[in-house]
Amino acid sequence: MTADPTAGKTFPLGPRLTPDGVNFSLYSDKSSTVELLFFDNADAAKPARVITLDPRKNRTHHYWHIFVPSIGSGQIYGYRIFGPHAPARGLHFDHEKVLLDPYARGIAIPVRYDRSAAYRPGDNTPVAMKSVVADLSAYDWEGDVPLRRPFAKTIIYEMHVGGFTKSPNSGVAPEKRGTFAGLVEKIPYLRDLGITAIELLPTYQFDPQDAPPGLLNYWGYSPISFFTPHRQYSSRQDLLGPLDEFRDMVKALHRAGIEVILDVVYNHTAEGDLNGPTFCYRGLANDTYYILEQDNAGYTNFSGCGNTLNANHAVVRRLILDSLRFWVSEMHVDGFRFDLASILSRDEDGNPLQNPPVVLSIDSDPVLAGTKLIAEAWDAAGLYQVGSFVGEFWQEWNGRFRDDVRSFFRGDSGTVPRIASRFFGSPDMYGHEERGPEQSINFVTCHDGFTLNDNVSYNQKHNEANRENNRDGCDANLSWNCGVEGPSDDPAVEGLRVRQIKNFLAATLLSVGTPMLLMGDEMRRTQLGNNNAYCHDSELNWMDWSLLDKHADIHRFVKLLIAQRQESDTARIDLGFSLNELIRHAEVQWHGVRLNRPDWSDHSHSIAFSVRSLMRSFTFHCMMNAYWEPLDFELPRNEAGTGWQRVMDTSLPSPDDIVPSGTATFIAGYAYTVQPRSVVMLFSRVREAPEPRHKKGRGPASPFFVASFFRFRFFKEASRPAGCLPLHRVFCRYGLP
């Protein structure tokens, strides 16, 4: 007996395009009937064709499938799912709602799209989002492949696709502002700044209407589809335009040597709580896709957004892995930052797992091998796993770096031991790991919270524009307004703010680990004290490109810091040093204002250290003064007697605040006055640097080499001069948390 060709196949899930038609496969375990709907356009009031799947031939176990001949790429479709509405059993079928295919590669959005129609009783066909069949095979990648740059050579720039170019002063053509194509036009700016990777806030389809009335969801942490580029970020209006425009962007960035990291949200969806809309997952298999309360009456809310994806259920785990593989294999992205990644560690009852299947599956997946994996290792319910996130290849947003750096430069007590740890890769947190310090993604600001300018301009959040009576957003910002709340014309206040901004940037870009900068911090972008500006698609969030000239001193400071950090890798190699040798033999010597007498006490606000290279050809000396008065620091006497050169002093006006190492100023004597709230970096070399082992004719390493190779756990104690102490002993002795 010949099999019915229209029966279809269970695999792969979603639409699979063939020369003869399309195979559709869908998971819905407790449904009784499935209808496949075809539409002529996104705004159609009713389907042009309805196919009712026969459970005898179109269902295998929990999967509904059918092959439909003579249709192809660009076909708009959706589903109606029939089944019991039984909240006590965790079932919320609603056959009046048009449902999206969770595996669709494209989404069509009607002009009159209405989120509320997806939770009100009744048919929502005319205003519902609909899925689109997409042919991915025709795109010409022109030999493009992911870049696979090591974390040790990575400078991350967290940014928003829309906000980067949406302002009229961006210089981007009006039709491309706020789009993937608009971002491409700004690639020269990113290259000039020295960025090697952009980390994009969510770029797959989210619901802009998931926001308070009259506002829009701007950040994008309201996912609808895990396989579809956000249509509003495309300058093209054709159904498959977002796919091609996203790939054009990736290809252009790769040609410029810049990696693409996506901020992905696998912890919740835009369907919200029980009062939310039914777009897809709730109407397909609610009790599979979500973690429910024990009585099934509602959703657990570990995400703080109304629901929590059941990430370690086999079906949801497959969805997540298939999504990640899609973005790597079909869209060529280089990595992912996982929003509220600790939720991925929870079981189906919400309890933390020691070896969460989805986390380990991502970690070991061969398609994802070599992909950057970054965890935001906490969730909204209090699970905090920074320093302990499971997996061999995961890096972590180091929230404690942010907090401790802010606390130190604010002048808080008891912060000196912690700033020492953060500066050298946080060994108190990662010392148990058999990995390098690049595991720590070091940042002081990100999209969630104050911008760098606002962190030095506001003591409290000012979120009134969010229409939640300033209740939303974090209250503990560890910020300091430098004496005046908000903008100030006082030169003393402004001078202090500039100094603090440079301190934060120096700490981020000189510390051991992988640095991350927030879009616009290099030109003092402000959100006017709003630390939760997720719902404002306006000038409040957009990059104001006029600030580039207004704060050219900050932009120059960042650019030179990045250049020094990047040059250190080349210089290290040219000198013939192996990374392992540098790790094992580099010496750190700790000081206070007096040599070899670091003050680790709670009332201390200053620290200094010297780091000498493997071949003792150069040394750099760093002094950090978070005190409110100037401090006179003694300087070590170098062996060659060549004296010290100043490469950075954040208290000095531009261009003396930072200079290339080849033009550094010599400092007379062996003492230096470090001004209040400032960081100083000095550099010393022998009169005749040793010849490179492999290459000749190149100069010595940059004084900023520590940021790219210094590691804590291999420090040797033998042959150390007086006062020289390995970091791991410092941390143990002084009881760092």
Report the catalytic residues.
339, 376
Task: Report how far residue 344's alpha carbon sits from residue 303's, in angstroms, rounded to the nearest whole number.
Answer: 11
**Contact, 427 vs 728, CB < 8 A?**
yes
The tally of CA atoms less than 13 A away on the side-chain side of residue 139 is 22
**Contact, 441 vs 509, CB < 8 A?**
no
For residue 107, give the H/E element and its range: strand 106-108
Q: What is the 3-state secondary structure (H, E, C) of 112-123?
A: CCCHHHHCCCCC
Q: Are strands 63-69 and 21-27 parallel, antiparallel or unpaired?
A: antiparallel
Task: Report how far residue 600's alpha carbon sits from residue 630's, in angstroms, rounded to the nearest whole number.
Answer: 19
Task: Report how far residue 420's alpha carbon sits from residue 404's, in angstroms, rounded to the nearest whole number.
Answer: 10
For residue 495, give the H/E element and its range: helix 491-510
Phi and psi angles of residue 14, each rounded to the nearest 5 degrees, phi first: 85, -165
Task: Report how far residue 397's alpha carbon sits from residue 377's, in angstroms, rounded to the nearest whole number.
Answer: 7
Task: Report how far residue 157's alpha carbon sits from residue 137's, in angstroms, rounded to the nearest whole number.
Answer: 31
The gap between the terminal CA atoms of the chain, to the nearest Å, is 71
3-state secondary structure of 607: strand
Two structure tokens written together for 459 = 């003591």
Contacts of 377 (CB under 8 A, 6+ apart): 341, 342, 384, 385, 386, 387, 388, 389, 396, 397, 399
Residue type, 667: I
CA geometry: angle at 447 spanning 445 and 450, to 5°? 55
Q: Which residues of 116-138 are buried (b: 16+ CB within 10 A; e: fewer)?
A: ebbbeeeebbbbbbbbbbbebee
For residue 91, give the H/E element and its range: strand 91-92
**Contact, 658 vs 647, CB < 8 A?**
yes
Give the number of other Cβ atoms within 10 Å of residue 622's Cβ.
20
**Contact, 235 vs 183, CB < 8 A?**
no
Task: Report how far residue 445's alpha carbon sits from residue 436's, in angstroms, rounded to the nearest whole number.
Answer: 23
Q: Pick the closest to residue 353 from 380, 385, 319 (CA basis).
A: 385
Residue type, 276: G
**Contact, 404 vs 415, CB < 8 A?**
yes
How many whole angstroms from its chain centre is CA 266?
A: 14
3-state secondary structure of 459: coil
3-state secondary structure of 683: strand
**Contact, 429 vs 400, CB < 8 A?**
yes
Task: Report how far residue 477's alpha carbon sits from residue 468's, in angstroms, rounded to the nearest whole number.
Answer: 18
Contacts of 439 (CB under 8 A, 6+ apart): 394, 395, 396, 430, 433, 513
Task: Report how far residue 713's alpha carbon sits from residue 430's, in angstroms, rounded to the nearest whole number.
Answer: 10
Task: Report how far residue 413's alpha carbon sits from residue 332's, in angstroms, rounded to the nearest whole number.
Answer: 47
Q: Pick the closest to residue 132 from 238, 58, 282 (CA basis).
A: 238
Sheet strands (E) in 458-539: 514-518
DSSP 292: B
Q: Which residues of 336-345 are buried (b: 16+ CB within 10 A; e: fewer)?
A: bbbbbbbbbb
Task: Report how far residue 273's alpha carbon sits from residue 279's, in angstroms, rounded to the nearest whole number.
Answer: 13
Two structure tokens written together for 140 = 């010409």
